[in-house]
Amino acid sequence: MSYINDKIVNLRTERGWSEYELSKIANIRQSTISSWSTKDSIPSIPNLQKICDAFGITLTQFFAETNESYPLTEKQHELLQYFDRLSPQQQNSLLSFLKSLQKLDLGSM
């Protein structure tokens, strides 16, 4: 099995998901997910993106060499999901807004 398939199986197992559960969450046929292992093939980039979305990680995190990360709270995870849907300009505006909120908080201390 390839590194990519091993990683998918590990992430799925960590969450206690079956192939069926992953297929429903990622909106990919279960037979497609199964074929990656049985036919020793790898997912396409669009399917890998769907898998990463299902796991709540980025492609960069998927391919990271280390697993050093800290767990996100439910609110942090939700915030990142909304942030990822914004355009680059909207992301920059949101970051500026958040920085201004932090400055206001620091100023009131």
> Domain residue spans in the chain?
3-63, 74-107
3-state SS, residue 16: coil
Cβ neighbours of residue 2 closer than 8 Å, sequence gap 6 or more: 40, 42
Q: What is the mean predicted confidence (pLDDT) over 24-30?
A: 95
CA-based radius of gyration for the chain: 18
- In CATH terms, the fold of domain 3-63 is 434 Repressor (Amino-terminal Domain) (1.10.260)
pLDDT tens sequence across 12-22: 998 889 999 99
Average pLDDT, the chain: 85
